[in-house]
Amino acid sequence: MGGEPAMSTAPPWVDSPDVPTQGDTGGPDSDSGGSGLSGSGSVEVDHMILTGVNVEPTRPQPGVSMTVRVTVTEDLSFVGPLDPDLCNPGGINTTGQQVQVRVDPEWAAERTENECIAMGNLGTNAETIEFGVKAPSSPGTYSIRVGLEMPGSGKGPEWTTTTIEVSESGWEEDSDTRNTEPDADDSGGNGPAIDLNIPNPLDGNGDALDNIQIILLLIVVIYALSKFGGD
């Protein structure tokens, strides 16, 4: 993806001024919720604009694999032949600039990737660069700084900051979906409930067939008693 990363002498965790992210000022204590920037132009270095930062998942369990996606837009309409960041992403007839994308988790080593982004035919062109990161091993809130730097000219870096929350349980379920146990039925088992409520024919609610059955049953009982009594 564009060759060996250039090294920067900029000290870590030193944010450039006036570089807002989603609801913060780009400092280490800011909290953008891992959902990215609030708009284009939040971080810009020499016509390279950091237009999106997305971390998945934003609330991981400890030690799981995460993906940091950084979207960078090139808004130049012309790159001169002497530009120190000139590159040819699609061959000799295409022109663009090379940018170094930096992802710096506070709990792990910094990742860098050089990307050659071509000029857009209609004025802009965007590329998304992915980084793999392991979540911290302990629960808590952690910061990830994302920066842009021009490796040829040395311009930058400019930074923004997002955060993740590491949780033992991961994403919490909604309260109405947490209880996954089926409701117990009246039968006390796992099968369908069986209605054993047999109507009492003497309570006046039985139909004619019930009454006939009772009469026949009484006749049989009387006959049996008389039979045994006669013996």
Secondary-structure class of domain 43-166 per CATH = mainly beta
Q: How confident is the model at residue 212 (pLDDT cuts 50, 70, 90)?
A: confident
pLDDT per residue as tens digits for the range 31-50: 333 434 433 346 999 889 99
Amino acid code (one letter) for 127: E
The pLDDT score that the predictor gives to residue 53 is 95
**Pairwise CA distance, residues 66 & 61, whole Å:** 10
Query: Does position 218 have pLDDT exceeding 60, yes or no?
Result: yes
The pLDDT score that the predictor gives to residue 72 is 95
User: What is the pTM for the complete model shown?
Assistant: 0.57
The pLDDT score that the predictor gives to residue 206 is 54
Q: How confident is the model at residue 19 (pLDDT cuts 50, 70, 90)?
A: very low
- Beta bridge partners, 144, equal 105, 162
Average pLDDT over residues 97-109: 97
Name the nearest CA neighbour of 91 among 118, 71, 51: 118
Q: How confident is the model at residue 191 (pLDDT cuts 50, 70, 90)?
A: low
Domain ranges of the chain: 43-166, 201-230
pLDDT per residue as tens digits for the range 141-174: 999 999 999 999 999 999 999 999 999 886 544 4
* Residue 126 and residue 167 in contact, taking contact as beta carbons nearer than 8 Å: no
Name the nearest CA neighbour of 14 among 101, 99, 100, 104: 104
* 3-state SS, one letter per residue, for the chain: CCCCCCCCCCCCCCCCCCCCECCECCCCCCCCCCCCCCCCCCEEECCEEEEEEEEECCCCCCCCEEEEEEEEEECCCCCCCCCCCEECCCCCCCCEEEEEEEEEECCCCCEEEEEEEECCCCCCEEEEEEEEEECCCCCEEEEEEEEEECCCCCCCCEEEEEEEEECCCCCCCCCCCCCCCCCCCCCCCCCCCCCCCCCCHHHCCCCHHHHHHHHHHHHHHHHHHHHHHHC
Query: Does position 14 have pLDDT exceeding 80, yes or no?
Result: no
Average pLDDT over residues 9-16: 36
